[in-house]
Amino acid sequence: MPRNIFRRLVLLTVVPLGGCASAALLPAPAARTVPGATNTLVDEVAGVRVTVQADAWQGSRSVLGQVQPMRVTIDNHSRSTVRVRYGDFALVTAKGRRYPALPPFRVEGELLSPTLSMGLSPFATPGFSYRRFYVAPYFARLYPGVPVYTRSYVLYDPGYYAFWYADFARAVRPSVEVLALALPEGVIEPDGQVSGFLYFRTVDPDAGTLSFRASIVAVHDGTAATGGLVLGEAVMPYVVEKRR
């Protein structure tokens, strides 16, 4: 990601939620990490490699008090086209509490005709990196240089957006910075990669342990009606450290 993107981003006010204690996510002893990067967790399922960083955010520090940004990189070394959809990602505690990935964009409409209902100008430079990645059609106008995947019904989940975007908006007022750095929905072709931020509600400081979970779903013509074929789930464990 170009470092000068931060100088072009216009920051808006973050809505405070209060509270004294915060949570830091640290790699669990059993976590598999990238050699030379002990803060970067990795797992691989069916030829799809997922890496996650819980401490990669370098933007406005106030965001960290409202949401938990996680930098996620997906490398597709399989023979299938793999989808990227917010509903496929979650933080899950040992007691089963789920923190779903929050959609940072407001998308509305029926399954076959979704629209981005936010008055956003196209990003001059995408804040995410990609190779052989196609963005969901309802995001096309935001990323004029990124190729578009035309089948929105494979990616768009109306109910998920209707519920979880409202949750995101209550947590943090979407700034240009937060939106520009977000990982958009789309598909990754074989030998492709995409890397950007997913946002979650802040974790309970007393959660103890949790795991980042990513469902790996292949998109095939024969399974278009159901959105794809689940290949497996990447799981990366964390320890929650309580801080004040």
19 conformational bin, left if phi > 0, alpha if psi -120 to 50, beta if neither: left
Residue 27 lies in a domain: no
SS3 162: helix
Going by pLDDT thresholds of 50, 70 and 90, the confidence category of residue 15 is very low
Domain that includes residue 133, residue range: 32-243
The total domain count for the chain is 1
Residue 22 lies in a domain: no
Q: pTM for the full model?
A: 0.88
Residue 135 lies in a domain: yes
Q: Which helix (H) or strand (E) holds 176?
A: helix 176-180
Residue 19 lies in a domain: no
Residue 210 lies in a domain: yes
Residue 38 lies in a domain: yes
Cα–Cα distance measured from residue 125 to residue 128, given in angstroms and rounded to the nearest whole number: 9
The model's pLDDT over 172-189, given as tens digits with 9 standing for 90+, comes to 877 889 999 999 999 999
CATH code for the domain in which residue 224 is found: 2.60.40
Residue 25 lies in a domain: no
The model's pLDDT over 198-209, given as tens digits with 9 standing for 90+, comes to 999 999 999 999
Residue 16 lies in a domain: no
